[in-house]
């Protein structure tokens, strides 16, 4: 997936104002970089990743590409309680499918969000588990379960073909009804 693909997947869910965002399970930082390209000056980004090497690689790349951007690199597991400020939004790309019991993690994320907070999910649109996607959540399932997990007005933002698993989708949900 290219950097432009990452931007295309999340751009429609991010307002034109600056804010405080987190990338949960940021890996090597593809979507953290996409956030940096989309958000306005003054924004803050928290990049949460448990792979310390990947996080260090992100940090080096960011300081070269966006030296004045406020990005905080947080080494930790997004499923654990985190000390974060109230967030305007969360991006979670290709990491929710590693969590079997999604509800406690998503309820915790919901608590991090401001009342007007947004949650952007990027996932493979597949139903059957694989070695690399053990607990998939295709869009139709996310759309149904998001209300039960108290995320509202879930809608599809974009899809991109995937060379591994049919397609990748992005969806936007809100903490409260808009």
Domains and CATH numbers, the chain: 3-174 (3.40.50.150)
Paired tokens of 98: 């590693």
Cα separation, 56 vs 5, whole angstroms: 23
Q: Evaluate if residue 67 carries a pLDDT over 80.
A: no
The pLDDT of residue 30: 95
Which long-range contacts (C-beta less than 8 Å, at least 24 apart) are formed by 113-116? Answer: 113/86, 113/87, 113/88, 113/89, 113/175, 114/86, 114/87, 114/88, 114/175, 115/175, 115/176, 116/88, 116/174, 116/175, 116/176
The confidence band for 62, taking pLDDT boundaries of 50, 70 and 90, is confident
CA distances from 107 to 4, 56, 60, 67, 115 (A): 30, 29, 32, 34, 14
pLDDT at 164 over 80: no
pTM score, whole prediction: 0.95
Nearest Cα neighbor of 150 from 125, 123, 113 is 113
């Amino acid at each position: 997936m290219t950097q432009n693909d990452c931007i295309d997947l999340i751009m429609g869910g991010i307002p034109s104002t600056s804010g405080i965002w987190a990338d949960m399970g940021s890996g090597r930082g593809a979507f953290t970089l996409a956030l940096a390209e989309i958000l306005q000056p003054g924004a803050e980004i928290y990049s949460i990743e448990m792979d310390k090497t990947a996080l260090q690689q992100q940090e080096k790349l960011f300081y070269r590409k966006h030296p004045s951007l406020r990005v905080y690199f947080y080494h930790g597991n997004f499923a654990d309680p985190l000390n974060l400020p109230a967030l305007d939004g969360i991006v979670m790309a290709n990491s929710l499918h590693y969590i079997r019991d999604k509800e406690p993690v998503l309820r915790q994320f919901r608590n991090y969000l401001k009342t007007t907070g947004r949650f952007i999910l990027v996932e493979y649109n597949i139903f059957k588990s694989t070695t690399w996607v053990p607990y998939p959540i295709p869009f139709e399932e996310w759309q149904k379960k998001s209300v039960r997990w108290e995320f509202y007005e879930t809608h599809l933002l974009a899809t991109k073909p995937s060379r591994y698993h049919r397609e990748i989708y992005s969806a936007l949900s809100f903490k409260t009804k808009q």
